[in-house]
Chains A and B, each alone.
Chain A
């Protein structure tokens, strides 16, 4: 075990690695946590509860009543996923993102592991990037799980067939599945701005619950601002403004416009709040 018999130890470091290990470690720690799976399970419950409620109810909905697409669910199970996305995106998904993104740095600080990661040394910038990547992976996982659960329960409880799009065109089942994945991609993209805000807030405190709550509050405030007509000038710049824009992905031909605009807005938030998180965290005194 003793590595050297000489009086002075010469530590020849292993070669510097690319450093991907920390990313895998982050993903494995995140997705091995029971809390993460509890949240993902709750996400999966949304389409399941929605489908069961629709199946059990005898009254038929008039078109346009309830959340968008709800009236179509009984005719085609593939709509369960879309409908539950609409239901989940204003509050439930931001809530889970708030938990994950708010926990990124503050959670490590709160339990004291931050100082050990930094003396390892993880590198502050690298740690921020890895933490953000973890939050982004959670966004993708949540959107995918919601989509997959929606497809499965939809197929189990309702007929499945070619899908009539908002534009009136009909697409085949495989193409509808592809569109479902596109919607999942759109929704995870939509949540990246909020994740960046959560990451920044998380660098401000050692109390993870505070950072989580603040992130959720930010998402609620953004949505309130988004419905005030007096602030119409601000609306295109709100990270939540395009959250429901995925309906454009259900037109024929595919309309990428809102996907693109959404990506630009999210990118702006990532750049701004990423920079804020960096400036805050790079020189922060780690006292936890």
Chain B
């Protein structure tokens, strides 16, 4: 697959990192479309952070290539990274400096950041993450959630084409998590590509347009969320005492219905549905007119969770 690099914010080819005998990242081919909110999923220890460190030029690949914003990394790091905001493996700050002085410190390391606009940019980044009032406090007095916000503010010091956020909601309360989600949405609406790593499926499901799943150093799936879910495998579930009749009726409609488990005196009947075969409402009325007594009826999108557990195997979240 050859595509113009500009359409992708991050492209890797055969990207591999070995530490001694251990292969942390095993020949991954990742393509993050520009303008997407890209979820990078995987259990802890699956190689997400090592991959991110390679994207940002912190770790040298053993083999393979990374292009970020169309440029080779780490060779073009000096021109690429000023256009990238990053939160890597949790926030890190000078505990004896205030929040604002920490951001000053990081901003002064960027040769493309003008010192004239520094104060204004820092203030607006702090406002954006809701830390305006704590700006003068020393960071050692910050809670984990406040540090997390400050880390995000650091990524937002300048307008960025790409944001790489590694576990951005770690340590945040539900309120903070929602704020991060809406912030990511707002940034994406402005045109920034957001690359979010997470071990939380629900988070990715709520924020992202695309995702890739990593397991033990390999990418086991990637694509749009719909592709990952498998759109055409939604299924209808019917709870009824008239299981045989229900199965027969559904098969008449062209659905591959099957009896599932008993629930009290009734039985669950399951059938994969395709919109082009039958709309759920058609199915429901067909069942009723056939005289099937319905105790429960639902159409289920396959959950991402099922899909990811299938992809990554047992113990998806065990290590967290």
Q: Is the CB of B59 within 8 A of A4?
A: no
Q: Is the CB of B35 within 8 A of A287?
A: no
Q: Is B124 an interface residue (CB 8 A)?
A: yes
**Chain B 113-138 residues near chain A, CB threshold 8 A:** 113-115, 117, 124, 127-128
Q: Given the complex, which residues of B lie within 8 Å of A231, measured CB to CB?
A: none
In whole angstroms, what is the CA distance A19 to B110 when docked?
8
In whole angstroms, what is the CA distance A80 to B53 when docked?
54
Q: Which of B82, B86, B90, B115 contacts A21 (CB 8 A)?
A: B115
CB-CB under 8 A for A15 and B114, given A8-B34, A113-B92, A113-B93:
yes
Q: Is the CB of B105 within 8 A of A4?
A: no
Q: Is the CB of A13 within 8 A of B92?
A: no
Q: Is A256 an interface residue (CB 8 A)?
A: no
Q: Which of A10, A11, A285 contacts B58 (CB 8 A)?
A: A285
Q: How many residues of A contact B (CB 8 A)?
A: 42
**Chain B 88-121 residues near chain A, CB threshold 8 A:** 88-90, 92-97, 104-115, 117
Q: Is B218 an interface residue (CB 8 A)?
A: no
Q: Given the complex, which residues of A lie within 8 Å of B84, measured CB to CB?
A: 119
> What size tier do the contact residues of chain B reach?
35 or more
Q: Given the complex, which residues of A lie within 8 Å of B83, measured CB to CB?
A: 11, 13
In whole angstroms, what is the CA distance A96 to B110 when docked?
30
Closest Cβ neighbor of B96 among chain A residues: A33
Q: Is the CB of B92 within 8 A of A115?
A: yes
Q: Given the complex, which residues of A lie within 8 Å of B190, measured CB to CB?
A: 2-4, 9
Q: Is B57 an interface residue (CB 8 A)?
A: yes
Closest Cβ neighbor of A17 among chain B residues: B111
Q: Which of A14, A32, A115, A121 contacts B114 (CB 8 A)?
A: A14
Q: Given the complex, which residues of B lie within 8 Å of A113, measured CB to CB?
A: 92-94, 105
Q: Which of A6, A15, A32, A283 contacts B191 (CB 8 A)?
A: A6
- Can you report 12 A-B residue pairs in the complex whose CB atoms are below 8 A from each other? A1-B124, A11-B159, A21-B108, A22-B109, A113-B92, A113-B94, A116-B86, A120-B106, A120-B107, A120-B110, A285-B60, A287-B59
What residues of chain A have their CB less than 8 Å away from a CB belonging to chain B? 1-4, 6-11, 13-19, 21-22, 24-25, 29, 32-34, 111-113, 115-123, 127, 283, 285-287
Interface pairs A-B: 5 shortest CB-CB: A112-B92, A9-B191, A120-B109, A122-B109, A21-B108
